[in-house]
Amino acid sequence: MKKTGKVYLVGGGPGDPELLTLKAYRILQKADAVVYDRLISDEVLALAPKGASKIYVGKQTNNHTLPQEEISALLVSLAKAGHTVVRLKGGDPFIFGRGSEEALELVRANIEFEVVPGITAAAGASAMIGVPLTHRGLATGVRFVTGHCRADQPLDLDWKSLSDPDTTLVIYMGLANLAQITTQLMAAGLSGSTPVMAVSRATMADQKTCPATLETLERSLKSAGLKSPALIIIGKVASLANVLGPGMTAAGENSDAQELQAMAGE
């Protein structure tokens, strides 16, 4: 009787293969089957063994290759067939990756599994575009929020709590509901002049950014042609891209740096 295999829920990071963890790389090398998402870059997928089965189960708005229940059932089936299965997810499996849903199904099926964390898109994008998620005097905390709901239902979020000007707000999968997001945040009290940075394909060679304010965000994104998948960072820290972003150099006379230091009370 063939021994039941094991499933690894692996974070593939934000896209750049050099941001894959050593553990994720090691486990990927021994995979018999790789079940991967839309957000996995070709460069990361290329690190899997040539003989491994590669099964695409990507999702995007109104276009799911497989429903979530069938993806979970596939993992169980592959493991019961004795395979070492790598469920490769963009970013981190437990941050908007439905990794916990799949883990619960594996528990129910008595399948051994292990979670391998990855660099989430917010952390990867933050580092690459010069927007720290927290900064003394500008942001005392950070919130990760999904901008997408099932079956195109209206977003059911606590807009008042999300409109705190001293908290950085990072919105995943928010392009489809952008008008609702900006309108609701401003209605809840967040200033329309709040700085915003949006980024698509973060950490990759074709990364694209779009600076804006909350009230100009929708118009700016249309003009810039930014497409999904994209990440939106809202808060005072977004202004630091003018100082810390790619191509910027430190200078004592930098007026942007001096203004931001004054804002932060430094």
Residue 107 CB: number of other CB atoms within 10 A?
Answer: 11
**Which residues 6+ apart lie within 8 Å of 143 measured at CB?**
162, 167, 168, 169, 170
**Active-site position among 16, 89, 173, 197:** 173
Contact 230, 198 (CB under 8 A): yes
222 in active site = no
Contact 241, 260 (CB under 8 A): no
Query: Using H for helix, E for strand and C for coil, what is the string for 155-190?
Result: CCCCHHHHCCCCEEEEEECCHHHHHHHHHHHHHCCC
Q: Measuring CA to CA, how many Å separate 4 from each of 27, 46, 79, 166, 252?
A: 17, 26, 6, 50, 62
1 in active site = no
Contact 80, 4 (CB under 8 A): yes
- Cα–Cα dist 51/45, whole Å: 13
**Active-site position among 37, 128, 197, 236:** 37
**Active-site position among 6, 23, 54, 59:** 59
Can you tell me whether residue 198 is helix, strand or coil?
Answer: strand
37 in active site = yes
Q: Report, as residue numbers or ranges, the catalytic residues.
A: 37, 59, 173
